[in-house]
Structure 1
């Protein structure tokens, strides 16, 4: 079913209100907030990698508070067990049956704080639920419901006692982005309000969980021309043959970008995707899925630079909306 212009306008208005609500807690980071909200409405997950104290946790909490649903926070530590995340089956002597006790992963928005501090075994507990939206414990599957989103944070500076996320898990994050430090004016505004140590708690819900599901379904119906999809696939294919790359973007990454550009297009009030939408999201959606060749990495080449270079090499199609 084609998306009408009226539906696109409604979506764009609701999207702007969501971004504005989160912006109450995170000032001056409109583009990053738009990326995170787009991930939510694309049924995706977000990895925030940045220096300490830049507002990663505040952003995640603010988004969770914007949604009138459940949210939880998991502080990842080296001693965290998989059952601490997913839940555990316990025998109830009174009833004479085994009962499943849900873990904190059963929430609409899950903040996985400092995810790289947990052991690989605990990190792997997220693989199934991030891909399929369900948890399997003792051979029984339990759905986490919809909407469901994991916002994970990690610190790129402190590496002592951390475990790098495996490529298979990085591939399950729709978007990887960072906040960075605020500009001068924003920093002064925050300093003037330094007594407010809980900015995220002042963000109130403005959208129901059912409305998020409705918006996600609407975004999935946005029209994408075959020429634009061909352009997207050429970009993905180019990352696999780049001389600075050991491992390029997988098919899962291509599908993720195809989903994300639909949401990005309708968030701007359009019922169709353009090549510019693909270019806008290529770096945050694709870069973290690339493994840079060790020699290139030593020379200072980054995955972001590789994607940007590919965008310059691949010619976009001449596309006009009907």
Structure 2
């Protein structure tokens, strides 16, 4: 019997080919497909071990974590954010799940924050945080916002610390094929380009080249469509050579060759990596040193919010 993922992919393909979703499909039809079947991908255990439970998130401000990103300024710690219905606040947490700092982002609105990334920005050598306000379940938002600001430091601060981000910049983008729901972004640490991955019966990949405008909304370029459904987060290694994209049920790993673009890497068939059972898994992050990756989930009435780590095999 076909898997649920493959059935969704088939249905999505039929809908696109038949033009059943209105005028936006006429534009999205020009986006090339990457053609392989997710149903044929066996789990690869040669690169990374199975999940290790390393932490639990008990803090109420972490109940709806939808993104994780490894801190550059504080190696070993993770930045987290929550999605719609929550404050304009990010948290710095230990892998054990303890909140060591909270920062409110002045001037930012949490309409539906769905992912977070850490990497380079306008000033060379400085680490930046990117908070992605990109969710759109009803598909009514014409514009998405990525907030960018220098990663704050806790040197000399008494922990736990509460602070304010007062210098956030708003990168506004829109998609060429109309309003789409999205929960995953990638920041290319080599080019500083931003990538958005849609969430639906398939995953469309869009790019906003660096430098992104801060004065007008940028039209993203649609690059390709990948045949897996409901992408909920993405992460790229510090050196830019390994990419992770997760769904609720699966994680896909792409290796990026020297001189290759992210789009080129995503055209190849990925490896499917180990993933613990998570009721509503919406977060993934590389460890800062590439020694493995972390995942976590939103809290439900019946689930515990574990933080899992998947060590790289020697």
Q: Taking structure 2 as the reference length, what is the TM-score of the superposition?
A: 0.22
When Rg is computed on C-alpha atoms for both structures, the one with the higher figure is: 1
Q: Taking structure 1 as the reference length, what is the TM-score of the superposition?
A: 0.21
Instruction: Select the structure that is richer in strand.
Output: 2
